[in-house]
Structure 1
Amino acid sequence: MSTSLNHEIRDMLMDCGLFVALTPAEFAAAAGYFSISSIEKGDAIFNEGDAGTFMCIIHSGTVSVRKLNGEGMAVETAILRSGRAFGEMAVLDGERRSATCVAASSCYLLNLGKDSLDKMLNEAPKAAAKIIRAIAVAMSKRLRMMDGQVVAQQD
C-alpha cells in the first residue's frame, strides 16, 4: 500500500471517532489493514443472508439498513451517517448478514475484512484488541438503545 493511501486511511480512522483509545502509532499500524471504497447512491453494499466477510465505517455519505418483513418486503430500519460502523456483527461472529445495506447517497467507506482483522490480531495485537473493543462498545450501546425502545413501545 502506498504511503499516501496509508496516511489517508489513518486520518479517516482518526476522524471517525470510533477508535479514541488508539495511540498515533496504533492508528498508523491499523491503517494498513483497512481499505477504502466508493459506493454510488442506490448500490447495495451487501445483502441480508450474504456471508459476512467485511465491515465498513462510513467516512462520508449515508447508508440505508433494510430487513425483510414477513411478506418478504424490504423495510428500512435505520439510516446510518458518517462515523458509524456497520457489518461488524458478521465479521465478529462469522454468521450471515442480518440486514441489507444500501448507499442512500454516494458513500466513501473504510472497509475491514475478516481476514485482515485476523491478520491484525497476529501482527498488531494491541491495535486489533482496541479496535475490537471499540466495536463491541458501539454494538453494546446500540443494543441498550434498542432495549430501551422495546420497553418504551410496551408502555
Structure 2
Amino acid sequence: MSDRSALLEEISSMLLDSDLFSHLSPAELRAAAHYFGVNKIAEDEVIFNEGDIGSFMCIVHSGSIAVIKANQNEELVEMVKLGHGRAFGEMAVLDGERRSATCRAAEDSILLTLSKEALDKMLEEHPRIAARVIRAIAVSLSRRLRMAVGQLVDHII
C-alpha cells in the first residue's frame, strides 16, 4: 500500500469515527477523504485567531481544542473545550468570513482539516458527496445555534 493510499485509508477511518459524517456510506467517506488533510497540533499552538480570514474547518480526532473569545473588556475567555469528533471553523468553509473566536490546542491534538478550496473542488468533482458534507456541516451549526439560543434564554429568564 502506498503512503498516499495508507493516508487516505487513515482519513476515511477518521471520518467514519466522526459523528458529523456518520450518515455517509463507507464509499462516500473514501471519496471525501481525498479532500481532507491531517494535522498534528502541539499543546498551546494557536490554530487560528479571532478576526482571521477563515479558509478551513477542523474536526478533532484526538486531543482537545480550547475555543477562546474576547469579551467587551478585551479579556480572553475560554468558552468551551472541544474533544474527539467535534468540528470547529465550519462557518469559514461555508462563507469565508472572519473567525468568530480563537482556537488553541489545549493538549497535543490530531485534526482533520477541510479547506474552502478543497470543498469547492469536491463540489465540482463529486457534487452529491459534497452536498452531503455541506448538509452535515449545516446540521451541526444549526444544533449549536439552537443550544446557544436556549442557553441565552436561560440566562435572560
TM bin, normalised by shorter chain, reads over 0.9
Structure 1 vs Structure 2 CA RMSD:
0.9
Residue 49 (structure 1) aligns with: 51
Helix, strand or coil at the partner of 2:130: helix
Matched, 1:113 2:115: yes
* 1:59 aligned partner, one-letter code: H
Spell out, residue by residue over 1:113-148, the C-alpha distance to the aligned partner (whole angstroms, 9 max, x if none): 110000000001111111110110011001101111
Give the AA of the match of 2:53: A
Shift of 1:39: 0.3
State the Cα distance separating 1:90 from its structure 2 match: 1.3
Q: Which residue of 2 aligns with 1:18?
A: 20
User: Shift in Å at residue 20 of structure 1?
Assistant: 1.7
**Runs in 1 of length 4+ with deviation above 6 angstroms?**
none
Q: Are residues 1:30 and 2:24 paired?
A: no
Note the C-alpha offset of 1:91.
1.4
Structure 1 gaps of 5+ residues are none
Residue ranges of structure 2 left out of the alignment (5+ in a row) = none
The TM-score with structure 2 as length reference comes to 0.96
Equivalent residue number for residue 67 of structure 1: 69
* Aligned-residue offset at 1:71: 1.9
SS in structure 2 opposite 1:21?
coil
Q: Secondary structure at the match of 1:3?
A: helix
Could you tell me how far 1:93 is from its partner in structure 2? 1.1
Residue correspondences, number: 155
**CA apart distance, 1:34:** 0.2
